[in-house]
Structure 1
Amino acid sequence: MQTIQAIPALQDNYIWMIKHAQRKQAIVVDPGCATAVLEALNTQELTLTDILITHHHLDHTAGIQSLLQHFPNANLYTPFPDNESINPRQQQVQEEHHLSFWDQALSLKVMAVPGHTLDHIAFVNDQLLFCGDTLFSSGCGRLFEGSYQQLFESLQRLAQLPRETAVFCTHEYTRANLAFAMTVEPTNKAIQEKQSWVDERLKNKQPSLPSSINNELDTNPFLRTNHPDVISAASDYTGTTLQHPVEVFKALRQWKDHFLPK
């Protein structure tokens, strides 16, 4: 049986640990901190077998070397080449690569989702999406390397996944993202309901994640660039009449970059 655990790390990161109870083994996604992962592994007497990396930012990769020192037989899957000889078991993976774990008990496909960074990938199947910093709960990642067009297209690809797909992003940004979403769509009842739910979760020191594709389609302005209310709000922000969804997305992303929740 497989379960997924959120390991809080750094200021607001989540490192996702996929566990196989019978095998006493685990896979971790984006270990930006080794200490928190090692503590979870040791407490539960788990062996780390695989590390999945969505992009090269340090808060997603800083724990790799320490984890490999403790588990030298672990496989490492990254979107970037091994330029520093991190591990002879490192594999660079790209679009359409398929990964299988535990005798095919878990299978994940690699999807290229550039924008936040040019090398950004996601790991996905029909039930699970590990999307790093591309899609957030009711938000999306900032542009560090890619273009607005690239990030827009990446998000549109994710939006086409089955609605029941669970979304495992890597930062606890949901409350701030909802404040922005509410500013864009103040009459959106789904956003209002999600705000109340998230406030209760965080009050009880529980993650607001995972989300779902279905929920994101209802509450995430960056996936709602065709909605009249979102188009109107983005047009008001720019002082121009926006027509193309990419223009709406660009306006929203620039607006969010300077947005301060009240």
Structure 2
Amino acid sequence: MPAFASTPLPPCVPIPLPAFEDNYIWTLAGDDGAALVVDPGDATPVLAAMANGLRLVAILVTHHHNDHIGGLAALAAAVPGIEIVAPHDDRIPLATRRVDDGERVRVAGIDFDTLAVPGHTRSHIAFNAGDAGGAPLLFCGDTLFSLGCGRLFEGTPGQMLASLDRLAALPGDTRVCCTHEYTWSNAAFALAVDPGNAALQARAEAVRDLRERLQPTLPVTLAEERATNPFLRCDDPAIRASAATRLGRQPVDRVETFAALREWKNVFRA
């Protein structure tokens, strides 16, 4: 599928700045125009947005991988004294505030609740804005993707499933702002797991249309994800049946169902 089209930057709306091959660096401006970015792995698109009028005052970081923090030094140099909010992890440099689970932080005039979501990495956090000038916003890094989830680099299947359960319990109108444009490839896997899901079939067609028009597939509502993302539906009989076929037996519990799906996704080719 094609890569990205350029996108304008209206205020008070989460805007994905494309970076690398498929990353998104989310930008969000408060009512006064002060803006934050999330997971700037590359400073270049952010600096370009700043040259276009973005008034950057803060950075949120979900986890330590370089495609999420690689631009921190350049942005800190460009904006002396910029606020950088990150989890407790020494692998993330330059943080001015370290946060843990259950904290509330006010950044660029917007209140965020922090949620510990280990699995992809051990210190991964998500930032949830319950009232950001519209429906709630969730910046979830590489934990939850549209129609997918992150790989398990440092956590266990049980940890990742618990993290996904926690995110799935948020209000259905929450806008999911994950950090990779993986939706099209994830759709192919989801359809292999859950071919009879009419909502998923419709979502896959919508995703195809968006990508053919060089448009982002995100944000997406959590309600859509709960209806179509197989990793959020490990209790559904259709998902358990697919996991059983993959394992050659019934999974012993929902954690094994999730683990079977994640291992299958690791090797899946459309």
- Normalising by structure 1, report the TM-score: 0.94
Aligned to 2:62: 54
Cα distance in 1 for partners of 2:230, 2:71 equals: 33
Aligned to 1:111: 115
Uncovered stretches (5+) of structure 1, i.e. residues with no partner: none
* Corresponding letter in the other structure for 1:30: D
Deviation at 1:241, TM superposition (A): 1.1
Q: Secondary structure at the match of 1:41?
A: helix
- My pick for the range that moved more, 178-187 or 93-102, is 93-102
Cα distance in 2 for partners of 1:75, 1:101 equals: 8
Aligned to 1:247: 256
Cα distance in 1 for partners of 2:200, 2:209 equals: 14
Among 130, 145, 152, the residue aligned to 2:154: 145
Q: How many residues align?
A: 255
Aligned to 1:80: 88
Cα distance in 1 for partners of 2:14, 2:258 equals: 32
Uncovered stretches (5+) of structure 2, i.e. residues with no partner: 1-10, 131-135
Higher relative contact order (CA 8 A, sep 6+): 2
2:259 paired with 1:259:
no
* Corresponding letter in the other structure for 1:8: P
Give RMSD over aligned pairs: 1.4
Deviation at 1:57, TM superposition (A): 0.2
Aligned to 1:37: 46
**Structure 2 vs 1, CA of residues 94 and 13 (structure 1 numbering), >3 Å: closer, same or farther?**
same
Cα distance in 2 for partners of 1:227, 1:80 equals: 35
1:40-189 to 2 correspondences below 5 Å: 40-43=49-52, 45-81=53-89, 86-87=93-94, 90-102=96-108, 105-126=109-130, 127-189=136-198
**Structure 2 vs 1, CA of residues 15 and 83 (structure 1 numbering), >3 Å: closer, same or farther?**
closer
Maintained 8 Å contact 1:113/1:121: yes
Maintained 8 Å contact 1:152/1:249: yes
Cα distance in 1 for partners of 2:43, 2:241 equals: 45
Q: Deviations over 1:139-168 (max 9, x none)?
A: 000000011110010000011000110000
Aligned to 1:2: 12
Maintained 8 Å contact 1:113/1:122: yes
Aligned to 1:216: 225
Percent identity of paired positions between Structure 1 and Structure 2: 44
Cα distance in 2 for partners of 1:27, 1:211 equals: 20
**Structure 2 vs 1, CA of residues 82 and 224 (structure 1 numbering), >3 Å: closer, same or farther?**
closer
Maintained 8 Å contact 2:36/2:107: no
